[in-house]
């Protein structure tokens, strides 16, 4: 069974849009209007979890489009792996809620950072698996993708895998540092990766290993 990837992308976009929308619903207004400013300030962990998670989901969305722009058809395996990826993304609002609650309460931060980081790490793992599978089956890829472009995409996915893993491990030891490391990936992600400018170049051969 092979499907037009445009339907996969449309469904994925819908799931991602719902996930980022649910994030803001976890930020509850202060109940004490008499001390509203103080109440708003004390919600800083919720703001932090919202911004970091929203921006990282934005990167997931961008990665998803980068990947599926190069996938010509999606077979059963790609559909299954993409479904697992979407399940993971849909879990992120809960992970963000746990993270903000732990920092507000001042306890359980290590577990909360681990949960939040591992949820994103699973997404990174799935991106790498999907892309590796697609490269092993060139019939799934567009003919204009060359080896340099395929390798650049793979390097970006592996970078996310390594960076998020490092931040998660640090977070188990020092929660605030772990969150800072993971958050630092947000601006770093948008820096160019060697070979990305070659992605649109007509392919002279099948994509080789990175």
Q: Average pLDDT in the 70-96 region?
A: 97
Q: Are 131 and 160 in contact, with CB atoms under 8 Å apart?
A: no
Farthest-apart Cα atoms in the chain, separation? 68
CA distance 20 to 16: 6
| Residues near 10 by beta carbon (within 8 Å), at least 6 away in sequence | none
Taking only the tens place, the pLDDT of each residue in 167-205 is: 999 999 999 999 999 999 999 888 776 655 544 444 434
Alpha helices in 137-174, H assignment, sequence order: 147-173
Tens digits of per-residue pLDDT, 125-162?
999 999 999 999 999 999 899 888 999 999 999 999 99
Please give the Cα distance from 94 to 13 (Å, whole number).
19
DSSP secondary structure, 69-94, as one string: TSBS-EEHHHHHHHHHHHHHHHHHHH
Structural domain spans, the chain: 2-27+34-198
DSSP bridge pairs for 2: 75
Q: How crowded is the C-beta side of 15, counted as CA atoms within 13 Å?
A: 20
- 200: its two tokens: 């649109």
Report the predicted TM-score, pTM, of the whole model to 2 decimal places.
Answer: 0.86
């Amino acid at each position: 069974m092979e499907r037009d990837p445009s339907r996969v992308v449309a469904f994925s976009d819908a799931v991602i849009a719902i996930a980022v929308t649910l994030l803001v619903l976890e930020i509850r207004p202060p109940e004490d209007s008499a001390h509203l400013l103080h109440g708003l300030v004390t919600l800083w962990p919720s703001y932090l979890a919202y911004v970091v998670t929203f921006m990282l989901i934005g990167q997931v969305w961008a990665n998803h489009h980068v990947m599926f722009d190069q996938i010509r058809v999606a077979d059963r395996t790609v559909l299954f792996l993409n479904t697992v990826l979407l399940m993971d993304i849909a879990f992120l609002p809960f992970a963000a809620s746990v993270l903000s609650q732990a920092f507000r309460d001042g306890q359980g931060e290590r577990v909360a950072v681990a949960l939040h980081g591992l949820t994103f790490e699973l997404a990174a793992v799935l991106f790498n698996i999907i892309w590796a599978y697609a490269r092993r089956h060139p019939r799934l890829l567009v003919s204009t993708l060359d080896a340099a472009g395929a390798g650049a995409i793979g390097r970006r996915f592996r970078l996310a895998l390594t960076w998020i893993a490092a931040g998660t491990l640090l977070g188990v030891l020092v929660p605030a540092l772990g969150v800072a490391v993971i958050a630092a990936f947000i601006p770093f992600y948008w820096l160019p990766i060697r070979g990305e400018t070659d992605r649109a170049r007509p392919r002279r051969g099948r994509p080789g290993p990175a």
